């Protein structure tokens, strides 16, 4: 081996053998750890990250048959099925060699050994293990890619002036590596915009990875985004590639970025500024090559003024901003969207529904659509299921009466601004049954701002 590479664990009950092997291997490999007690193997594997385990086949309890060696080989592969194990014994024969390979060992060395041959065998075993690791990383990418393909995806549709502006922006920036920030309410199609950007970019042959930051706990943030190595924490049974690593060469979509705490914002900013990551439990620095797209339904400028979002992170992620209008502000698109969802769901439920009446469209146009396009999609699906004819009628749609644009249920007996604000907040909280995120979105506030007002008014 011309370069020191690989970590080797040597297990043999003969101290002279351990000394000789350590002396021989140390100039050629990155690290050699030895033990004469095979009972230490489980703990060493759990805490170490060995490329090769050089295992004696015969210990003092049974010096000839090799049963102990096969016993510990089985234990090693139970702990880590990807371990690369090389047997070493003074009592070797062809039958034992074949049995060892069948049991999961990668090679077989006889004592006394030839130094050059032993070093060559260990070198090959290290390369085999590195190849296994690369295959595991590739498998992780393939799994993530399959998951991405399995996500429900409907075409990004619209013909209104507001949507034409969005399409025009996508066309201008898609084929660049500029970082994009997509802003819009829940259900407006932020991920669809991200996928459209990826599909029309020069990275479209590579992977698209979507990460919902709102669903990742603070303790798992670094592991999910940057990866971890085996033994980094209690449940880290093997190396795991992070989303940045998996998305390398492609596009990484970070949804709900406004939900990150300030400490996590700092960690993300550091990775983006340095364009490199370090897996949890590792000292190896990996360069990252991703096209970053972020999205949020929060008002980041307001969060910056409140001290809950970093201004330098905003500058880093929003080279270009794309604002998605809510459905209530682009009602011209409702007939087109309705027709699209009718075709999908009529086929799905094997119904003869061909279209929607003008009266039903009028009803849909008069609704405020707090859930935006996602809510429209569900409303159409439900109407298709309930419809008995071949055209959707107004009565086929059951829309929430709570979404009426009337403010008659707000107490305006007092014209004091604080009283009005308090009553509006109470009304919206009731409307969303106490859901803070939806209420804050409806009021145009961040969750933090709404909490402060609720505390102020003792709500």
The CATH code of the domain that includes 378 is 1.10.8.60
pLDDT at 176: 94
Q: At what angle do helices 334-348 and 372-386 cross, to 10 degrees?
A: 50
Tell whether 410 is covered by a domain. Answer: no
Tell whether 223 is covered by a domain. Answer: yes
Domain span at 81: 7-131
* CA–CA distance, 308 with 310 (Å, rounded to integer): 7
* CA–CA distance, 282 with 241 (Å, rounded to integer): 12
Handedness of CA 319, 324, 329, 331 (dihedral sign): positive
Tell whether 41 is covered by a domain. Answer: yes
CA distances from 55 to 25, 66, 109, 120, 442 (A): 15, 11, 10, 16, 65
Tell whether 59 is covered by a domain. Answer: yes
User: Which residues are registered as beta bridge partners of 228?
Assistant: 240, 280
Query: Is 295 found in the same domain as 173?
Result: yes
Q: Hey, what are 332's tokens?
A: 């011209």
Q: Residue 30: which CATH number? A: 3.40.50.2300
* CB of 68 closer than 8 Å to CB of 91: no
User: Which residues are registered as beta bridge partners of 259?
Assistant: none
Q: Hey, what are 27's tokens?
A: 């100039």
- C-beta atoms surrounding 136 within 10 Å: 15
Query: Is 110 found in the same domain as 22?
Result: yes
* CA–CA distance, 103 with 132 (Å, rounded to integer): 18
Which mean pLDDT values do the consecutive 10-residue runs of the chain (459 residues) have? 75 88 87 88 82 81 66 84 81 64 77 84 83 68 54 64 92 94 93 91 90 87 90 82 91 94 94 93 91 94 93 95 93 93 92 93 92 93 90 88 46 63 84 83 82 84
Which helix H or strand E contains 431, and what residues bound it? helix 417-431
Query: Is 82 found in the same domain as 94?
Result: yes
pLDDT at 357: 93
* CA–CA distance, 262 with 271 (Å, rounded to integer): 14
Query: Is 255 found in the same domain as 158?
Result: yes
User: β-strands 180-183, 107-110: how paired?
Assistant: unpaired
Q: How many domains does the structure of the chain reveal?
A: 4
pLDDT at 229: 87
Handedness of CA 436, 437, 440, 446 (dihedral sign): positive
Which helix H or strand E contains 233, and what residues bound it? none
The values of phi and psi at residue 100, to 5°, are: -65, -45
Query: Is 314 found in the same domain as 221?
Result: yes
Place of tokens 């569900």: 378
pLDDT at 66: 63
Query: Is 395 found in the same domain as 293?
Result: no
pLDDT at 154: 43
Residues 6+ apart with CB under 8 A from 365: 331, 334
Q: Give the start-end residues of each E strand in 36-102.
A: 52-56, 85-89
- C-beta atoms surrounding 25 within 10 Å: 22
Q: Hey, what are 26's tokens?
A: 């140390």
Query: Is 55 found in the same domain as 18?
Result: yes
Query: Is 158 found in the same domain as 109?
Result: no
User: Which residues are registered as beta bridge partners of 116?
Assistant: none
Q: Of the residues 308, 323, 338, which one is the last residue of a structural domain?
A: 323
Burial of 77 (0-12, 13-18, 19+ CB in 10 A): middle
Query: Is 311 found in the same domain as 448?
Result: no
Q: Hey, what are 412's tokens?
A: 């305006």
Q: Residue 428: which CATH number? A: 1.10.10.60
Which helix H or strand E contains 198, and what residues bound it? helix 190-199
The values of phi and psi at residue 7, to 5°, are: -115, 130
pLDDT at 2: 53
Tell whether 412 is covered by a domain. Answer: no
Query: Is 332 found in the same domain as 228?
Result: no
In this predicted model, what pLDDT tens digit does every residue of 123-133 receive, in sequence order? 888 887 777 77
* CA–CA distance, 430 with 3 (Å, rounded to integer): 68
Tell whether 119 is covered by a domain. Answer: yes
Q: Of the residues 278, 293, 323, which one is the last residue of a structural domain?
A: 323
Query: Is 195 found in the same domain as 122?
Result: no
pLDDT at 432: 81
CA distances from 259 to 111, 219, 225 (A): 61, 14, 15
Q: Of the residues 295, 323, 351, which one is the last residue of a structural domain?
A: 323
Q: What dihedral do alpha carbons 318, 255, 163, 393 form, nearest 10°?
A: -160
Tell whether 408 is covered by a domain. Answer: no
Q: Hey, what are 162's tokens?
A: 């507001």
Tell whether 137 is covered by a domain. Answer: no
Handedness of CA 284, 285, 290, 296 (dihedral sign): positive
Query: Is 378 found in the same domain as 353?
Result: yes
């Amino acid at each position: 081996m011309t370069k020191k590479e690989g970590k080797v664990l040597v297990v043999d009950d003969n101290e002279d053998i351990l000394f000789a092997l350590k002396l021989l291997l140390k100039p050629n490999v990155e690290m050699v750890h030895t033990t004469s007690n095979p009972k230490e193997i489980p703990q060493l594997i759990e805490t170490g990250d060995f490329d090769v385990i050089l295992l004696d086949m015969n210990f003092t309890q049974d010096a000839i048959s090799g049963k102990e060696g096969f016993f510990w080989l089985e234990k090693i592969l139970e702990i880590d099925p990807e371990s690369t194990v090389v047997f070493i014994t003074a009592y070797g024969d062809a039958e034992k060699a074949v049995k060892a390979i069948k049991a999961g060992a990668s090679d077989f060395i006889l004592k006394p050994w030839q130094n050059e041959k032993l070093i060559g065998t260990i070198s090959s075993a290290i390369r085999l293990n590195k190849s296994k690791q690369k295959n595991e990383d590739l498998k992780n990418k393939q799994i993530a890619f399959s998951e991405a393909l399995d996500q429900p995806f409907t075409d990004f549709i619209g013909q209104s002036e507001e949507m034409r502006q969005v399409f025009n922006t996508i066309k201008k920036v898609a084929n660049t590596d500029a970082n994009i920030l997509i802003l819009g309410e829940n259900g407006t199609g932020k991920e669809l915009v991200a996928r459209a950007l990826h599909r029309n970019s020069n990275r479209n042959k590579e992977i698209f990875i979507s990460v919902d930051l709102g669903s990742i706990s603070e303790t798992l943030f670094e592991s999910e985004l940057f990866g971890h190595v085996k033994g980094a924490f209690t449940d880290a049974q093997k190396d795991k590639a992070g989303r940045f690593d998996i998305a390398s060469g492609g596009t990484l979509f970070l949804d709900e970025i406004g939900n990150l705490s300030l400490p996590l914002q700092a960690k993300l900013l550091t990775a983006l500024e340095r364009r490199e990551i370090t897996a949890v439990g590792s000292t190896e620095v990996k360069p990252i090559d991703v096209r970053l797209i972020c999205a949020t339904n929060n008002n980041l400028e307001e969060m910056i003024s409140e001290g809950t979002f970093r201004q330098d992170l905003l500058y880093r992620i929003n080279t270009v901003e794309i604002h998605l209008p809510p459905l209530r502000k682009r009602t011209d698109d409702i007939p087109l969207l309705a027709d699209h969802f009718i075709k999908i769901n009529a086929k799905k439920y094997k119904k003869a529904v061909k279209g929607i009446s003008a009266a039903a469209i009028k009803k849909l146009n008069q609704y405020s659509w707090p859930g935006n396009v996602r809510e429209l999609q569900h409303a159409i699906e439900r109407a298709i299921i309930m419809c008995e004819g071949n055209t959707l009628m107004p009565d086929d749609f059951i829309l929430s009466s709570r979404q009426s644009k009337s403010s008659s249920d707000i107490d305006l007996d007092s014209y004091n601004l604080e009283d009005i604000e308090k009553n509006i907040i109470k009304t919206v909280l009731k409307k969303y049954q106490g859901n803070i995120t939806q209420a804050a979105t409806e009021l145009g506030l961040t969750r933090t701002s709404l909490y402060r007002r609720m505390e102020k008014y003792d709500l």
